Structure 1
Amino acid sequence: MSATPRSFPPPGELTWDQSAGRACIWCRRPLTSGAVSVGIIRDQFGAHNLDTEVWAGPCCASTTH
Structure 2
Amino acid sequence: MTAAARPLPKLDTLTWDQSSGRACVWCKKLLTTGAVHAGTIRERMGAHNLDTEVWACPLCAAGEGAAADV
TMscore range, shorter length: 0.7 to 0.9
Structure 2: tracts of 5 or more residues without a match: 64-70
TM-score of the pair, normalised by structure 1: 0.85
CA distances 1:11-42 after superposition (whole Å, capped 9, x unpaired): 11000000000000000000001001111000
So what's the TM-score if we normalise by structure 2?
0.80
Aligned partner of 2:42: which letter? R
Question: C-alpha separation between the residues in 2 aligned to 1:28 and 1:6?
Answer: 16
Structure 1: state its 5+ residue gaps. none
Matches within 5 A, 1:1-65: 5-63=5-63
Q: Distance in 1 between matches of 2:9 and 2:61?
A: 16
SS in 1 for 2:60: helix
Structure 1 segments (4+ residues) deviating >2 Å:
none
Pairwise CA RMSD: 1.2
CA offsets, 1:37-63, max 9 Å, x none?
Answer: 111000011111100001001121112
How many corresponding residue pairs?
60
